[in-house]
Copies of this chain bind each other. A is one copy, B any other.
Amino acid sequence: MQDPFDQKKSYILQEIASSVLDASPKGTIDEPCWPIIQTINSHPDMVTTSSCSGRVSVFLEGVKQSDAVNRSIGAKGHEGRWLFVSHDPKELSGWYNRMNFEYVSSGFQIGASTRYILFKFEPLILHVKCRNTIMANRVYQAAMACGFRESGIGTNDIVGIRISIKLDIPIGYFDNQIFKIMVSEEYLQLATKLAEDRFAENFRKLQQLERSMESLRVLSAEASSHIETKEERRERKRKEGLERQRLKRENDDKNSTSQVWSKLTK
């Protein structure tokens, strides 16, 4: 009988092959994710369960309910919808010219039920299911060393790989069926340029992560097949340490504006 991990992996690989894996609005796997998905899935102890290569979106919040509980921020809720979504920086230029926007420079008509329009950049996110906890920890540590500082292990040895290069900008609101924009067209142009910069950074990090996932190959087979001896563990720790040092040198993310934490424990 097949091991449960191998069974699940072979099911997922079939789904990928028949291209029905991705249930997101786009319906397929984003092209920039293909190399890293191939790299991860060629490792015997890992399989990707979801991915998004990063995207720009313009979102209109849903209709807000009067009770506090249902008045949550950025809610899809009733009639929330994307006005624009792109996974490709080349599609961004002048997107706002193709929208039916009305620019209002002052006198915003805002209230508790206002439905805002948000311009967002959301970076790469990847979920990797691992054969066991040893492997999940390796993937987690490799991702952290690449600067994916919001990564974490969830249930069933699935590692969520996340980074925090975002944009989340309220640009307008919906009023009498009109998209009223509270910033200038020049501002939207600038915000779009910043989204392009973030896309570039995002793809650079994606490549770095891919190399890091590739390097986990040398550590493959022993993770699953048997319990390590002390010597094997020492040798693996040494290799992993060297790899992490190499990645850290590559990684310029140490200066990002993420919040400063007291870390008494590591």
The answer to whether B168 touches A140, judged by C-beta atoms less than 8 angstroms apart, is no
- Is A265 a contact partner of B8 (Cβ separation < 8 A)? yes
Q: Is A232 an interface residue (CB 8 A)?
A: no
CB <8 Å contact, B190 and A255? no
- Cβ contacts under 8 Å, A120 to chain B: 257
List chain B residues, Cβ under 8 A from A118: 257
> Is the Cβ of A23 less than 8 Å from the Cβ of B153?
no
Q: What is the distance, in angstroms, from A246's C-beta to the closest C-beta of chain B?
A: 14
Let me know if A265 and B190 touch, CB within 8 A.
Answer: no
A148-159 CB mask vs B (1 if < 8 Å, else 0) is 001111111011
Residues of B within 8 A of A257 (CB): 59, 61, 74-76, 80, 118, 120
Query: 0/1 per residue, A65-84, Cβ < 8 Å to B?
Result: 00011101111110010000
- Chain A, interface SS category: mixed
Task: Count contacts on A: residues with CB < 8 A to the other chain.
Answer: 86
Q: Which residues of B contact A193 (CB under 8 A)?
A: 110
| Beta-carbon contacts under 8 Å, A72-105 to B | 72-77, 80, 105
Contact in complex: A264, B69 (CB < 8 Å): no
Contact A264 B140 (CB under 8 A): no
Which residues does chain B contribute within 8 Å of A31, judged by CB atoms? none
- Determine the chain B residues whose CB is within 8 A of the CB of A182 once the complex forms: 183-184, 186-187, 190
* 23 cross-chain CB contacts under 8 A: A15-B264, A21-B264, A49-B264, A49-B265, A50-B262, A68-B204, A69-B252, A73-B165, A73-B198, A75-B256, A75-B257, A80-B257, A141-B155, A151-B152, A152-B160, A153-B154, A156-B266, A166-B168, A167-B168, A168-B168, A169-B169, A170-B191, A182-B190
Cβ B261 vs Cβ A50 within 8 A:
yes
A248 at the A/B interface (Cβ < 8 Å)? no
A residues sitting closer than 8 Å to B (CB atoms) are 8, 11-12, 15, 21-25, 49-50, 52, 55, 59, 61-62, 68-70, 72-77, 80, 105-108, 110, 116, 118, 120, 122, 125, 127, 129, 133, 137, 140-141, 144, 150-156, 158-160, 162, 165-170, 182-184, 186-187, 190-191, 193-194, 197-198, 201, 204, 252-253, 255-257, 259-266
